[in-house]
Amino acid sequence: MRPPQSEVSATALLQLWLGQHRQTAVFLDVDGTLLDIAETPGAVHVPPGLVDALAQLHRRLDGALALISGRPVEELDRLFHPLRLPASGAHGAYWRETGDSPLRRTGKDLPACVRVRLNALACANPGVLAEDKGSSFALHYRAVPERAPLLREALLALLDAPEGAGLRLLGGKRVYEIVVDGVDKAVAVRRLMATAAFAGRCPLFIGDDLTDHPALVLMSGLQGLGLSVGRTLPGASAVFADAAAVRTALITAAGGNHR
C-alpha cells in the first residue's frame, strides 16, 4: 500500500514509483528539471552519469521513459548523445514514439510575418536572444530582465493583431514564447500514452515551469503523479529542491553514482 503522497518527499515518491517499473511511465522536462538553467539554451551542461542513468531507467521501464521539452527534438538528441529516447519537442508540436521512430509533427509553423516581427523585436532590444523553432518562437531575456514588461506588452499587442490569430503566449523562466494553439505538454503526454510502450501504465511527470503546468495537472486524471522542481506548481504532489536533486534521485534509482 502506498503511503499518502503529502507525507512523502519527492525523492521517496520517485523511488516508490520507479520501483513499480512495470506499471509506471516516466515523462521528464529538460531545462530546469534535468539540467540547470544556463544563460543561453546552448550553454547548458549535461553532468556525468545522467545519460547512463536515463538509459538504464529507459531499459528498466521497457521503453516507457520520454523527454517532454520546449526544445526541438534534434537538440535533445545532441544534448544526450548517444542516447535517443521517446520525445516530444517544441511544447508538443513534434514527437516520436521511440528513439528509432521517425519524427512526427502536429503543429503548424508560425506565419512568416509573425516570425519577422519577432525577430525585429529581438533586434530592437539588445541582449534579447531570439530562438525560432518553427512552430514556436522564444525570446530569452535572461541577460536583460528589465526588458520583460516591454517584451510582454509587444507580444500581447501582436496576439491582438489579425496575424496573431491562433497563437498564444507562454511565459517561462526569463523567456516569453509564442506558440501555435492546440499543442502543449499535456497533449504530448496523452499522445505518447497511447503508444505501445506507455499504454496501460500510470504516468509520472516532473517539471519546473509554467509550461509544464498542463502536464502536471493532467496527472491526477490519468491516475498519475506530478512532481515539480524549485517550487510547488498546480498538480504537483511534492517538490524537488532543484535540478541537481532530480538528477541525484534518478542516478541513485538507476544504481549509479552521483557526481
Q: Is the domain of 57 the same as that of 174?
A: no
Average pLDDT of the residues in 16-27: 93
Q: Is the domain of 121 the same as that of 60?
A: no
Residue at 10 is within a domain: no
- The count of structural domains within the chain is 2
- pLDDT tens digits along 149-190: 999 999 999 999 998 888 989 888 888 999 888 889 999 999
Other C-beta atoms within 10 Å of 114: how many? 19
Active site residues: 29
Residue 167: domain span: 112-180
User: Which helix (H) or strand (E) covers residue 169, if one does?
Assistant: strand 167-172
Instruction: Quote the CA–CA distance of 115 and 118 in Å, as a whole number.
Output: 5
Q: Is the domain of 40 the same as that of 25?
A: yes
Looking at 180, 202, 223, which one is the last position of a domain? 180
139: helix, strand or coil? strand
- pLDDT tens digits along 202-221: 999 999 998 899 999 999 99
Instruction: Quote the CA–CA distance of 123 and 115 in Å, as a whole number.
Output: 12
- pLDDT tens digits along 91-104: 889 999 999 999 99
Residue at 92 is within a domain: no
pLDDT at position 2 is 44
CATH of the domain at 36: 3.40.50.1000
Residue at 175 is within a domain: yes
Instruction: Quote the CA–CA distance of 112 and 179 in Å, as a whole number.
Output: 13
